[in-house]
Amino acid sequence: MLDPELKNYLSGINLHLTEIKAKKSPGIWRSFFNGMFSALGYIVGLALVAVILGWFLNKLGLTAQFKQQLKDYQLFFNEAKRVMNIGGENQQSGTSSQQAGDTTIILPDGRQVKVQLAQ
């Protein structure tokens, strides 16, 4: 037969296993919180990767180049919007005598280019 001390020890293990099984029962709230904590973990992990990547790029000295490239793109797109708006105004108003003709475009490197806009 079993030793009384071993039997007592096994009954304690059985009691703990029963409690763990009761806690692990499926439920709406448990699923909800599991999903929330999983999403929070993904967000924190993504933020941590972004911070480490930014720090690494900063140590390599590449962030200044990225910032300059971003400014160049912004200047280019703003100039393109301005030219497209001038062309759109010419087509809408019908009176293009003042706006028709040569238009000066400033490139991101500072050069100026004259272009003939179509009516």
What tens digit of pLDDT does each residue of 71-107 get?
A: 999 999 998 888 887 755 555 444 444 455 678 888 8
Q: Which domain holds residue 35?
A: 27-61
Q: Are residues 57 and 74 in the same domain?
A: no
Q: Give domain status of residue 12, yes or no.
A: no
Nearest to 76 by CA among 116, 115, 101, 105: 105
pLDDT at 12: 92
Q: Are residues 70 and 102 in the same domain?
A: yes
Q: Are residues 68 and 57 in the same domain?
A: no
Q: Are residues 33 and 50 in the same domain?
A: yes
Query: Does the pTM of the predicted model rise above 0.75?
Result: no
Total structural domains in the chain?
Answer: 2
Two tokens, residue 11: 């009954």
pLDDT at 76: 92
Q: Are residues 89 and 112 in the same domain?
A: yes
The top-scoring range by mean pLDDT among 18-27, 34-43, 59-68 is 34-43
